[in-house]
Amino acid sequence: MNRVIKVVIAGAAGRMGREVVRAICRAEDMELVGAVDVVMAGQDAGTAAGIGEVGIAICTDLAEVLDKTAPDVMVDFTVAKAAEANIKMAISRKVRFVVGTTGMSASTMESIMNEAAQAGVGGAVVPNFALGAVLMMRFAREASRYFPDCEIVELHHDGKVDFPSGTAKATAHEVASGRGDAVSRRGLDGGIRGVEVEGVPIHSVRLPGLVAHQEVIFGGPGQTLTVRHDSLGRDSFMPGVLLAVRKVSQLDHVVLGLDPLLE
């Protein structure tokens, strides 16, 4: 009999959190054992997610939930400030983690990586769980070998507070790696046209009606090449979230992005 992975969700009442509740509850090899959020406290997590009662009430105290349920994996979809504390709380209890929260600083990530390494706790910090987005980044890296000039346009719903998106920054890293440099090519000032990440200009759009979209536009003499990915609903991220939960439950180190888990 296959082992069932016990999961706690931080940010369970949010838009992504509710989607994760639905996905975890439908996965035969996973069990939702805890749900945490600062809103909807006391409400059943399944009711909040629109699937009916699942017998797990939303709590506000993550430490208490982790201690009481002893989960295998914590999934975090909160905000950057809360995510840092949540991840370190999980590490201190030897709980592996899957994080979709973006906007954490480089110094925060370094601190998390160091603490996880010292504790021997595995985890995954993933800017985009859509499998198509992972392939988009792979294709962009390959294209950058032949089209070194490119710009990224990322478009998200108006509730996304961080910019550029984690996916856009990860894509810029892949482009810079593919072309073998990270030299600034445009000298953007960060105020008019966008910002630069590793020498790649990124433009951020935040509008109602959008979910998560990105295009990488490459230009060369007499031609352009566009690599684009569109998430039309949050359910597009769930296969990647479930994959990460399954893979992370066997890791003793932290990976960045979904790509390493696809190997």
Asked if 8 contacts 35 with a C-beta cutoff of 8 angstroms, the reply is: yes
Annotated catalytic residue, options 6, 156, 173, 229: 156
Annotated catalytic residue, options 81, 94, 160, 253: 160
Between β-strands 223-231 and 5-10, what pairing exists: parallel, antiparallel or unpaired?
unpaired
DSSP letters for 169-182 = HHHHHHHHHHHT--
Backbone dihedral region of 34: left (phi > 0), alpha (psi from -120 to 50 degrees) or beta?
beta
How many residues does the structure list for the chain? 263
Label residue 89 exposed, middle or buried (CB < 10 Å: 0-12, 13-18, 19+).
Answer: middle
The rounded Cα 239 to chain-centroid distance in angstroms is: 13
Asked if 160 contacts 112 with a C-beta cutoff of 8 angstroms, the reply is: no
157 classed as catalytic: no
94 classed as catalytic: no
Q: What are the structure tokens assigned to 141, written together? A: 């890296």
Identify how many contiguous H helices and E strands the chain contains and give both numbers. 8, 12
> CA 11, 82, 214 angle in degrees (round to 5)?
70
Asked if 162 contacts 80 with a C-beta cutoff of 8 angstroms, the reply is: yes
d(CA 129, CA 126): 6
Could you list the active site residues? 156, 160
